[in-house]
Amino acid sequence: MRWSIGVVWAAALMSIPTEAADSSTYFDAETGFTFAQFNGLFQIGKGILYRVAVPSPVPANASYDVVFQIVAPIAVGWTGLAWGGGMVRSPLTVTWQNGQTVTIGSRYATGHSMPSVYPNAVYTKFKTGTKVNSTHWQVTAKCSGCSTFIGSTNSQVTLPPKGVNRLAFAESNSKPATPSSSTSTFNVHDVTNSFTADFASAGNTEFAALVAKNGEATN
Ligand code: HEM
């Protein structure tokens, strides 16, 4: 039975985080959500803020909605999140400025080429928290279908709502062909990187009430 001691030790070790997440906790007073925030650098000294909020509690093994917020310098052509931590077999949230508002596109790729429109992730863009000024554009939205998906091993993945999850971002300096359309084509990214987000730090007990409070954007 010597091996069982090893198993116990391995289990004990696995429950101890070996590295801290790349995210920090951010409370957004405007929308009321608490997010895990990551500053993704796309040029020296220039970053895009990626924020993720989750409901708390979430029943075990259940799929759940997430809320994300992206704050991008005005020069960014498009930027997006890959919820599975890489481009392939992962819901891709793609966002870009469209005049005084922001368009959200849903995509999924089975290879490293132009991703297809992805109907399994559905977005509700919020009225509060989506805006454009002379320096930045910002979008806040709920995604149903970003946290559960068919992943890289071709089986269903649900991101643990209390886990440290590896996500990725992509940034392009060029704008999509048709900014008003969520199904627009766009050029390949100039920068990609992955990061870890601590979903446990992004739990919101008032998630549903905050979703309702922030309202659906009409444009
Ligand atoms: C025109 C559309 C796109 C094309 C042609 C494209 C192409 C590629 C290629 C060729 C690579 C491999 C780069 C390398 O390592 O040499 C790559 C990586 C990557 N792409 Fe895309 N991409 C597109 C859109 C997107 C979108 C919309 C996202 C996310 C929202 C994304 C996220 C990533 C990420 C995170 C990586 C690095 C990790 C990985 O290889 O999976 N891509 N892409």
| Secondary structure in 3-state letters for 150-165 | ECCCCCEEECCCCCEE
**How many residues can be counted in the chain?**
219
Identity at 189, one-letter amino acid code: H
For the CA of 93, the nearest atom of ligand 1: 30
Q: Which pair of tokens denotes residue 144? A: 């149903």
Beta bridge partners of 86: none
> Which of 94, 106, 192 should be mutated for ligand 1, with most atoms under 8 A from CB?
192
> Which of 30, 41, 83, 76 lies closest to 199, judged by CA?
83
For the CA of 80, the nearest atom of ligand 1: 30
For the CA of 105, the nearest atom of ligand 1: 27
For the CA of 94, the nearest atom of ligand 1: 30
Radius of gyration of the chain (CA): 18
Q: Measured in whole angstroms, how far is the alpha carbon of residue 36 from the centre of its chain? A: 10
218 CA from centroid of ligand 1 (Å): 30
Closest C-alpha to ligand 1, atom 5: 113
Cβ atoms of 62 and 55 within 8 Å: the answer is no
Quick check: CB of 112 below 6 Å from ligand 1?
A: yes
Quick check: CB of 86 below 6 Å from ligand 1?
A: yes
Cβ atoms of 65 and 208 within 8 Å: the answer is no
Question: Beta strand 122-125 with 131-132: parallel, antiparallel or unpaired?
Answer: unpaired
188 CA from centroid of ligand 1 (Å): 7
Q: What is the pLDDT of residue 219?
A: 84
Q: What is the pLDDT of residue 61?
A: 77
pLDDT (tens, 9 = 90+) of the chain, 219 residues, equals 344 444 444 444 455 555 689 999 999 999 999 999 999 999 999 999 999 999 999 987 789 999 999 999 999 999 999 999 999 999 999 999 999 999 999 999 999 999 999 999 999 999 999 999 999 999 999 999 999 999 999 999 999 999 999 999 999 999 999 999 999 999 999 999 999 999 999 999 999 999 999 999 998
Domains annotated for the chain, with CATH where assigned, are: 20-214 (2.60.40.1210)
